[in-house]
Amino acid sequence: MVGIFRQKTPANALILLFYALVLKFPLFLHPVTPALHPEDNYLYRVILEGLDHAFHNIPVFYSLLSFLLLYSQAILFNRIFNHYKVLPKTNFLPGMSYILITSLLPDWGHFSAPLLINTILIWVWYRMMELYNSHRPGTTIFNIGIWTGIISLLYIPAIAFLLLGLFGLLAMRPFRVREWFVGLLGFTFPYYFLFLILYLTGQWKWADIVPRIVFTVPALPSSIWIAMGMAWLLIPFIIGGYYIQKNQSKYLIQIRKSWSLLLIFLMVSILVILINRVNSYENWVIMAVPFAAFHAAAYYYPTKTWAPNVLHWLIVAYILAMNYFI
């Protein structure tokens, strides 16, 4: 399977769809209605209320929506990855890795605010990579700020992704105070409209608007299966990180900066999951994008092809056992 996704052919998009259906079919066997958490912000509550009216609270529709989101995110992430040649040759390994990673924990298939913002974060990552060669970056930086503000209106802890915007600017461009102010202005833009709507509708309450941010330690894995899922998340990440470090001298400067940006992405994602812990692992799915990049490197670089194939099938066996036999 790794050998198939190492190639870039139009048929691989269809193969990836069947691959996703096999790994994520339990979403339809055990559909779950999304639950609101204290960390879910105004915009996500409005979206969920609209979906409840449209789907009449039927769980299987949310499973279908989650599946379509995950598959489209995998395709989008794979396309951007290949567009910028983050790996030397174009392939479908980033998309495969994203589908594989988001199948490791059952909660990552639930429709939730963190799953929804992953689509926006992939786009933000794409726009940030554009900044390296941009001669007039003002509009791009402002748009990045706007989308970063929007994801914080979906999920309160995602306000930490403002750091991704700021440190991403530092990684991709020379430091210019004006550009940082443009990014911050873009971040506040969605809040301007939110405050205006709340004021005009008589719902203005300062205590409700100020986000409640509390740093906590994530709960320990509740079962051996959760612990194994986390282990399978880390092992390919370590292998991929080793190969990326080993090949640093062969990369163009833009590609080096792209990997640095993905590492910043991961560090901010870890920070987000430490804010206002919920009683599930749904919020951990925001780590899937940067992890998928490093996993793709773990499958791409080894010269002995049997090693990544064994690793891949061990992870697939774990996912099938967890979803179908436990």
- pLDDT tens digit string along 257-308? 888 889 999 999 888 888 766 677 888 889 999 999 999 999 988 888 888 8
- pLDDT tens digit string along 214-272? 666 666 667 787 888 888 889 999 999 899 888 887 877 888 888 888 999 999 988 88
**What pLDDT, on a 0 to 100 scale, did the predictor assign at position 204?**
67
**What pLDDT, on a 0 to 100 scale, did the predictor assign at position 219?**
66
**What pLDDT, on a 0 to 100 scale, did the predictor assign at position 238?**
93
Tokens (6 digits) for 154: 């979906």
Q: Look at the chain and count its residues.
A: 326
Q: Which residues contact 105 (CB under 8 A, 6 or more apart)?
A: 226, 229, 281, 284
285: part of which helix (H) or strand (E)?
none
DSSP string over 191-248: HHHHHHHHHHTT---HHHHS----B-PPPPPSSHHHHHHHHHHHHHHHHHHHHHHHTG
**What pLDDT, on a 0 to 100 scale, did the predictor assign at position 102?**
92
* Single pTM value for the model: 0.91
Tokens (6 digits) for 107: 């909660």
CB 186 within 8 Å of CB 150: no
Spans of the chain, pLDDT less than 50: none
